[in-house]
Amino acid sequence: MSRKGGLRGGMVMGTEKEKMVRAALRTVTGVGSQRLRQLIAYFGSAAKAWEASSSKYLQIPNQETWIKELLKARQSIDPQRVEDTLIKQGIQTITPDERDYPNLLAELSDAPPLLYYRGQLKGDIEGLAIVGSRKATAYGKAVAKMLARDAVAKGIVIISGLARGIDTAAHQGTLDAGGVTWAFLGCGLDQIYPRENRRLAEDILKKGALISEFAPGSPPNAAHFPARNRLISGCSHGVVVVEAAERSGALITVDFALEQGREVFAVPGPIFSEVSRGSHHLLRQGAKIVEGIDDICNELPAWSNYEGHISLLKGPSAREKEGSDVEEEVLEYDLILSQLSDVPLHIDQITTNSNLTASAISLALLELQLGGKVTQLPGQHYVLARER
């Protein structure tokens, strides 16, 4: 069901010329998604706006500098050349009236009149946003990966922002499970930010998509990221905050989610952790607590037939890793579990007995805790979890 004022249905022209002109208009300084919507509403389409006389523009109420910039730029910009450049860059464009434009996003009154993307888009998806701190802890990263992996078994598309920390873990967890993930960027698609995620971005393109409302050449300005966050929540049925400080950007995503009528979830963390304070604030404000994928699916009617939590020890069936990689991970878990009993064992002793790196042991123990197999005691001692 579309909101009144949304762009889908009747208002826009789905022709290649219309998309080409919208892309040309987006290259004009000062013409962002909001002003492009204004032009479409005033003239009936971007194509008509491009062809309108200067005198017609002078009739627009409350003219600003950007109108003068547009009229000046119109004399030198060739829409066909803009389109040819996008093709060379491997970037596609899509408008809200096209089938593969994200359905949930198209329903919103502020849906971008033009999205840029690389990879594969599909309009009708079950989307879940997983967001959180850039300064994520090992706990937060493990939780993000766990939720992403378990969501893949349901056919859920994981949506995030390619940022460091929780975003990266969510994308990677989805890819490890052979699932589909979308990454929204706060810059043009000819740039990847942060730079260290370029390899991750290429991996996402194999089955998912990189998406932006910013024209190629747009830098990753701080002002772009709140706009990016509204698209992350806008494409999703629910938003999960894994870790967030008191002033985290993830909380901006939550604000948009609430305005858009999306469900908000939060993962509890250690009370001593700075990056858990924002999450705990959300929980006090009424966000749904998340300890596993069941907590999310049970709150969303379309996902309520989910059959249960997929154990980290078993590995998701959709995973497309080589069989040897999966077997190696399971062997690590078995090796650790074989050492544990009701008698506490220190992590250093586990590492010595296992002939594995300390970092591998730490991550495996954390995942075993999240899987309900191991309990941590004070002083980095571990025991087998009791059956409930």
Q: Residue 338 falls within a domain, yes or no?
A: yes
CATH number at residue 291: 3.40.50.450
Domain region containing 69? 16-119
Q: Are 315 and 330 in contact (CB under 8 A)?
A: yes
- The answer on 73 and 161 residing in a single domain is no
Q: How many domains are there within the chain?
A: 3
pTM of the complete model? 0.77
pLDDT for the residue 12: 38
Q: Residue 312 falls within a domain, yes or no?
A: no
Q: Residue 48 falls within a domain, yes or no?
A: yes
pLDDT for the residue 1: 28
pLDDT for the residue 375: 86
- The answer on 260 and 132 residing in a single domain is yes
pLDDT for the residue 384: 86
pLDDT in tens, the chain (388 residues): 233 334 443 333 447 899 999 999 999 988 999 999 999 999 999 999 999 998 888 888 776 778 888 998 888 999 999 999 999 999 999 999 999 999 999 999 999 999 999 999 999 999 999 999 999 998 899 999 999 999 998 999 999 999 999 999 999 999 999 999 999 999 999 999 999 999 999 999 999 999 999 999 999 988 899 999 999 999 999 999 999 998 888 999 999 999 999 999 999 998 888 999 999 999 999 999 999 999 999 998 777 664 443 333 334 433 344 444 444 556 778 888 888 887 788 888 888 888 788 878 888 888 888 878 888 887 788 888 876 4
pLDDT for the residue 82: 95
In the block, residue with structure tokens 């990263």: 141
- The answer on 169 and 203 residing in a single domain is yes
Q: C-alpha 253: how far from its chain's center?
A: 10
The amino acid occupying position 35 is R
For the chain, state the CA radius of gyration.
24
Q: Residue 64 falls within a domain, yes or no?
A: yes
pLDDT for the residue 145: 93
- The answer on 156 and 290 residing in a single domain is yes
Q: Residue 157 falls within a domain, yes or no?
A: yes
- The answer on 279 and 146 residing in a single domain is yes
Q: Are 237 and 207 in contact (CB under 8 A)?
A: no
Please state whether the peptide bond connecting residue 316 to the residue before it is cis, i.e. omega within 30 degrees of 0.
no
- The answer on 248 and 163 residing in a single domain is yes
- Report how far apart, in Å, the C-alpha atoms of 22 and of each of 45, 132, 268 are: 9, 33, 43
| Tokens of residue 105, six digits | 């996003």
pLDDT for the residue 305: 61
Q: Residue 358 falls within a domain, yes or no?
A: yes
| CA dihedral for 187, 189, 190, 195, sign (positive or negative) | positive
- The answer on 271 and 209 residing in a single domain is yes
pLDDT for the residue 63: 66
CA angle 298, 300, 301 (to 5 degrees): 90
- The answer on 170 and 63 residing in a single domain is no
List, for residues 324-353, the tens digit of each pLDDT value. Answer: 444 455 677 888 888 888 778 888 888 888
306-311 — which CB contacts under 8 Å span 24+ positions?
Answer: 306/154, 309/150, 310/149, 310/150, 310/153, 311/371
Please list, in sequence order, all residues whose beta carbon lies within 8 angstroms of the beta carbon of residue 107, skipping any fewer than 6 positions away: 1, 2, 3, 6, 8
CATH number at residue 335: 1.10.10.10
Nearest of 111, 97, 132, 320 to residue 211 by alpha carbon: 111
- The answer on 131 and 110 residing in a single domain is no
List, for residues 167-202, the tens digit of each pLDDT value. Answer: 999 999 999 999 999 999 999 999 999 999 999 999
- The answer on 75 and 35 residing in a single domain is yes
